[in-house]
Structure formats: C-alpha cells, structure tokens
Amino acid sequence: MFHKEGYFIIITTFLICASIVLCAEYFIGHKIAKIILQIGALVALVLVLQFFRNPHRNTVLNEKHLLAPVDGKVVIIEEVYEKEYFKDQRIQVSIFMSPINVHVTRYPMSGKVIFSKYHPGKYLVAWHPKSSELNERTTIVLENEQFGEILYRQIAGAVARRIVNYAKVGDAAVQGEDAGFIKFGSRVDLFLPLGTSVNLIMDQVVRGGETIIAEK
C-alpha cells in the first residue's frame, strides 16, 4: 500500500521510467549502455515506491501510552527549554528518518488538536542542532487528560522539500492514525511534560504507531 501523497509522483516516475526503458530498447544500439540505462530507470522507480509505502501498523490504543509518531532512530533524549509554545522546560525526544524509512507521521496519542502552525525555513541536515528552529517545519500540540499537552514538530531535512500536515485546530486526533507526511528525509521532535517516563534509549530504532515511547 502506498501513501496518497505519493500517487502523483509514483505515476509520473513510472511513466518516465517506462519511457526510458522503451527508448533505450529501440534507440540505443550499445548493449551494455542500454542495460545500464534500463536498470537505472528501474532502480529509480523502486526507490520512489519504497519511499511512499504506507504499511499497515498494529496500533494498540492505550490512553496511558505515547507511541512513536514516525519510523526512525532516536537521536535526542534530553531536557530542554521549548520556546515556541510552552516557553518552559520539557523533555525532548527526537527521531531521525533516513530516506529509506517510512515517512508517514502518525498521532502519538488520542486527544484534541489545540495548536497547529507552519513555519517556512531553511533545509539544514535534519541532525543539525539548529534544524528544529531554522528549518521548514510544522508545530502541532495535542491535549488529553492523561498527558496534558504534548507537542510534536515535523522538520524538513536537507533533501525534504515538502511537509504535509493534516492536523487542524479542533480536530479529534486518534492514536496511530495518519497525521501527515514528510517527503524525502526528515526528523520529528516531541516535547513532553517533565516527569514523563520515557521508555527509549539513544540510537533505538522505533516504528511509528507501534513503539511505546513514554507512559503514565
């Protein structure tokens, strides 16, 4: 299954790759050059298909758990000052997604969307310390009775050029459901209340909608 954000790109890539394969077959006489060109086109198509895949996840709804919003590797777990919305100390958990990860963003908990804002910005590499403040990004705040307010931030990377955010103020968020997409490499930061029990270690690989990142 593929994500709806990839339909146009997948169809376009398929048509271009099919044209390259056919043109190489009929217009390139050198056998090795033809094979290299055709294989290259097929590899490009496979890469696009794998990037926009949207696999089913076995999300177990639990109001006492926060789930990973994306697939990737944990690169930050630390107490920081969050200055955009909370303006106080929070626990930051950051998950880095490489181009080969699934890039669907999922709601980490059920609740209500109380804040959603898009910020234009730069395209620093996603692991850069300032990417959370300077890169193109969206900031979303969810609220429920168990955790209060939590913030997650979709951040574009050096390759990513479009962030898709479905969360709108007033929406009812359902844990594990599709909340957006980040195209071609990126990172997601979460800012949790102090005292939240984080069940992660640095460099841990997580799966969006399944891995428990914190609990009450």
186 is catalytic: yes
Count of other CB atoms within 10 angstroms of residue 7: 11
The β-bridge relationship of strands 137-144 and 148-156 is antiparallel
Sign of the CA dihedral running 201, 206, 212, 213: positive
Structural contact between residues 152 and 190, judged by C-beta atoms closer than 8 angstroms: yes
d(CA 26, CA 72): 42
Sign of the CA dihedral running 154, 155, 157, 159: positive
Residues contacting 27, CB < 8 A, separation 6+: none
Annotated catalytic residue: which of 19, 94, 186, 197? 186
d(CA 191, CA 170): 20
Which of the residues are catalytic?
186
